[in-house]
Amino acid sequence: MLDFKSLNTISVGEAMVELASVGEGTYRRGFAGDTFNTAWHMAQALRGRASVGFATRVGQDRISDAFVAELAADGLDVSVIGRDPVRGMGLYMIQLDGVERSFHYWRDTSAARGLAADGDTLSRAFAGAGLIHLSGITLAILPAADRERLFATLASARANGARVSFDPNIRPRLWASMDEVRHVIPQALALTDIALPSFDDEVAVWGDTDPQATIARIVMAGVLEVAVKDGAGPVTLYSGGVIQTLFTPTVQGIVDTTGAGDSFNAGYLSARLLGQTPENAVAAGQRFSGQVIRHFGARLPKAAVPLLQV
């Protein structure tokens, strides 16, 4: 059974300006990004019970100011957000085809690409954390030297009792090659306690034949707990040496599947932090994602936040 030295959580990665479709030719500006979506939903669900911070780097412009102010108002710890005097936030637009989505990105000059440039800043961000969450996107946007610095800082935090959760969340266009993916992801897994992969990613990169094959490979890296997501299909859970297949409830009224995996991660990790079993954590993740996909965009609107039950 995993334990946590504290309930303090730090999620690491990139947030971007999001243009989300709310109708034909109409978009709403927001902020999103995989590990940010997870942190935000965790902060709403855990409000008053745990501290959730988002370690990233943004600009010094008005949009970046608005992002930091919104996070602070929503109860996140913004002390771990760095400011870049030259670069600003990246941007992406969601294009919907029915309920499925595609993305268009403008992120090459994102300030978040420098989030691991200073090891001391990272060490301060991770100090006291019981859980540190990151993703393959976090790794993909970093220069190689900064990626190694992040790994070293994670190793030190783990040695001091922090747990690490990792969603491989593989986006091939962010990587130089698939060989780079296959080199870097195992390094992250070697530092991971909880892995939250999506089966379609694992098939594309590793050729896994089923979620059990994904679990076997990840456990070989030393990971203690694995929950393999598979869209509307069952979640395959590994914990305590046992593999279980857990049915995913049918969701009615789906309008946008953006952020489904990120919100699952939020529900799962929130439940685990609060001492719930891995099985109950899967159920929490399914509830969170089931609510998010009933709304446009990657995050729930404020009015729907009370639906995040954990």
DSSP per residue over the chain, as a string? ----S-S-EEEES--EEEEEEEETTEEEEEEE-HHHHHHHHHHHHHTTT--EEEEEEE-SSHHHHHHHHHHHHTT-B-TTEEE-SS----EEEEEEETTEEEEEEE-TT-GGGGTTS-HHHHHHHHTT-SEEEEEHHHHHTS-HHHHHHHHHHHHHHHHTT-EEEEE----GGGSS-HHHHHHHHHHHHTT-SEE--BHHHHHHHH--SSHHHHHHHHHHTT-SEEEEB-TTSPEEEEETTEEEEEPPPP-SS----TTHHHHHHHHHHHHHHTT--HHHHHHHHHHHHHHHTTSSSSS--GGGGGG---
Residues belonging to the active site: 262
